[in-house]
Amino acid sequence: MIAAREVYPQSEALLQLLLFVDKRPSSREHIQRIRHHLQELHSNYTFDLRVVDVGESPYLAEHFKLVATPSLVKIHPEPRQTLAGTNLVEQLDRWWPKWQQAVEVYKSQCELNPSRGQAGQSECTNLSPSQNLSVMHSAEIMRMSDEIFRLKQEKAELQQQLQLKERLIAMLAHDLRNPLTAISIALETLQTHLGSGEEPPANFKPSLVAQLVKHARTQTKNIERMISDLLQTARNAEQPFQLQRQKCNLKQLCEEVIEYFQERCASKSQYLQADLPNDLPLVKADPERVRQVLTNLIDNAIKYTPENGVIQVAALHRTTRNVQISVCDNGFGIPPENQKHIFEDRFRLQRDQEAEGYGIGLSLCQRLIRAHYGEIWVDSVPNQGSCFHFTLPVYGI
């Protein structure tokens, strides 16, 4: 077998053939049969047979639009012709006389063209190798075009990853401020009243100390989870999240997250309401991961709800197998054409291109809910608001 770059020497043979084969054991037998049969055929002119392994020269095979091997291609003289199948010898016997006639016609056209003179004769003599080179160049151009396209794709992916990591670093620095500020306030409060060496004020009760410590620990966990998820996204990791699924009181968890956001909503004159049935069943879930989903959805609702807007967190025992949680707002809503893309990684609405955020929050929510064997979706009407829903399995199912 010879590689594509060796297929086209400066041959002056008037009849030029390419035999395309693959690496099957029977290919060697086909090569020997074709070569032996061509030697037996009577010819008054030289011919050139070149063998090409399609595995080594895929672009050459693509150039000739081959659909099967073995294939025998007559590349000169024109018109080009392809014979394919295991009965190449029989097909060759049928077409050989016509190929001889084509060569004779080609010779006559070159020899009987007085207007070209010596230059015309030279042109005819050199047509064969130049035609060979043309075919080789076409195949090489195809290969290089595909290679350039692949390199452009890799470049675009690398640039996208670099831009994402730069954005993640900037956004991480920004988003860390809130939990770090909360931790700092809690620690400063404790230090002021407990580390001064003086008696703490009467209203500084042990329950308040416990609450401040708990708040600081919660924010520390939020920071740790935030960094972990962002690093995983930056690596473009496809591995599923590691969950610690357990019996989880979803009503209590929702109430804790809602309480966390009440002060922020109040600062924007928003109303954060809850509709959580007392008989809501327990679910089987990782409470910290569910908290992360709720936090992300409520945070988005606050971000896109105007002043005096209403945000509602509701729970519904849909079936005996699932519980549904909904986070609804009366904000800007999502255009219908974007709703099917809203959970895609790094997808952002046009209006949010300059806004703060990663463009990965909803994607992470989707991955987390799916890791729980639940579903997540959105219902939205532009300028009327959005409702994000997700389900979790009932504990014991």
CA torsion angle for 386, 392, 394, 396 (degrees, to 10)? 180
Residue 253 has pLDDT above 90, yes or no: yes
Is residue 239 a part of any domain in this protein? no
Residue 295 has pLDDT above 50, yes or no: yes
Is residue 284 a part of any domain in this protein? yes
Is residue 240 a part of any domain in this protein? no
Query: Could you tell me if 306 and 385 lie in one domain?
Result: yes
Residue 258 has pLDDT above 90, yes or no: yes
CA torsion angle for 84, 87, 92, 94 (degrees, to 10)? -110
Q: Residue 116 corresponds to which tokens in the numbers above?
A: 């070209």
Query: Could you tell me if 251 and 386 lie in one domain?
Result: yes
Nearest-angstrom CA–CA distance, 121 and 131: 16
Give me the numbers of helices (H) and strands (E) for the chain, helices first please. Answer: 10, 11
- Identify whether the C-beta of residue 74 lies closer than 8 Å to the C-beta of residue 91: no
pLDDT band (50, 70, 90) for residue 6? very low
Domain boundary among 180, 206, 234: 234
Residue 129 has pLDDT above 50, yes or no: no
pLDDT tens-digit series, residues 86-114: 888 889 888 888 888 888 888 888 777 65
What integer pLDDT is reported at residue 354 of this predicted model? 44
Peptide bond into 70 cis (omega under 30): yes
Query: Could you tell me if 124 and 18 lie in one domain?
Result: yes
Q: Residue 336 corresponds to which tokens in the numbers above?
A: 């219908």
Domain boundary among 88, 115, 146: 146
Across the range 132-158, mean pLDDT stands at 68
* Own/partner long-range contacts of 142-151 (Cβ < 8 Å, ≥24 apart): 142/59, 142/62, 142/63, 143/59, 146/59
Is residue 323 a part of any domain in this protein? yes
Query: Could you tell me if 34 and 140 lie in one domain?
Result: yes
Residue 382 has pLDDT above 80, yes or no: yes
What integer pLDDT is reported at residue 312 of this predicted model? 95
Is residue 241 a part of any domain in this protein? no
- Identify whether the C-beta of residue 221 lies closer than 8 Å to the C-beta of residue 288: yes
Across the range 333-340, mean pLDDT stands at 83
Judged by DSSP in three states, 12 sits in: coil
pLDDT band (50, 70, 90) for residue 162? confident
Weakest mean pLDDT among 119-133, 197-211, 271-285, 347-361: 119-133
Residue 73 has pLDDT above 80, yes or no: yes
What integer pLDDT is reported at residue 117 of this predicted model? 39
Nearest-angstrom CA–CA distance, 205 and 307: 36
Nearest-angstrom CA–CA distance, 105 and 93: 20
Higher-pLDDT residue of 336 and 144 is 336
What integer pLDDT is reported at residue 15 of this predicted model? 82
Query: Could you tell me if 85 and 116 lie in one domain?
Result: yes
Q: Say which CATH number the domain at 299 has.
A: 3.30.565.10
Domain boundary among 177, 209, 234: 234
DSSP string, 122-160: HHHHHHHHHHHHHHHHHHHHHHHHHHHHHHHHHHHHHHH
Is residue 162 a part of any domain in this protein? yes
Terminal CA-CA length for the chain: 62
Nearest-angstrom CA–CA distance, 265 and 117: 93
Phi, psi of 50 (to 5 degrees): -120, 140
Query: Could you tell me if 260 and 388 lie in one domain?
Result: yes
Q: Label residues 236-269 b or e (16+ Cβ within 10 Å = b).
A: eeeeebeeebeebebbebbeebbebbeeebeeee
Q: Say which CATH number the domain at 68 has.
A: 3.40.30.10
The rounded percent of the chain whose pLDDT value lies above 70 is 74
Residue 272 has pLDDT above 90, yes or no: yes
Is residue 181 a part of any domain in this protein? yes
Is residue 74 a part of any domain in this protein? yes
What integer pLDDT is reported at residue 390 of this predicted model? 95
Q: At what angle do helices 287-304 and 206-234 cross, to 10 degrees?
A: 90
Number of domains in the chain: 3
Query: Could you tell me if 379 and 288 lie in one domain?
Result: yes
Query: Could you tell me if 317 and 376 lie in one domain?
Result: yes
pLDDT band (50, 70, 90) for residue 116? very low
pLDDT band (50, 70, 90) for residue 328? very high
Query: Could you tell me if 205 and 263 lie in one domain?
Result: no
pLDDT tens-digit series, residues 27-38: 888 888 888 888
What integer pLDDT is reported at residue 298 of this predicted model? 92
What integer pLDDT is reported at residue 325 of this predicted model? 95
pLDDT band (50, 70, 90) for residue 22? confident
What integer pLDDT is reported at residue 270 of this predicted model? 92
Judged by DSSP in three states, 329 sits in: strand
What integer pLDDT is reported at residue 353 of this predicted model? 43
pLDDT band (50, 70, 90) for residue 369? very high
Across the range 265-282, mean pLDDT stands at 91
Query: Could you tell me if 336 and 276 lie in one domain?
Result: yes
Residue 330 belongs to domain spanning: 246-393
What integer pLDDT is reported at residue 7 of this predicted model? 37
What integer pLDDT is reported at residue 4 of this predicted model? 35
pLDDT tens-digit series, residues 165-211: 776 676 666 667 777 887 888 888 777 777 666 666 666 677 778 88
Nearest-angstrom CA–CA distance, 43 and 39: 9
- Identify whether the C-beta of residue 245 lies closer than 8 Å to the C-beta of residue 285: yes
Query: Could you tell me if 219 and 251 lie in one domain?
Result: no
Give the highest mean pLDDT range of 226-230, 238-242, 290-294, 319-323.
290-294
Strands 283-285 and 246-248: antiparallel
Q: Which helix (H) or strand (E) holds 24?
A: none
Higher-pLDDT residue of 130 and 89 is 89
CA–centroid distance for 45 within its chain:
56
The closest alpha carbon to 356, from 182, 175, 233, belongs to 175
The closest alpha carbon to 120, from 129, 128, 111, belongs to 111
Instruction: Report DSSP state, residue 10.
Output: -
Place of tokens 């972990």: 228
Query: Could you tell me if 318 and 359 lie in one domain?
Result: yes
23, 45, 76, 209, 366 from 73: Cα distances, Å: 18, 18, 9, 87, 54
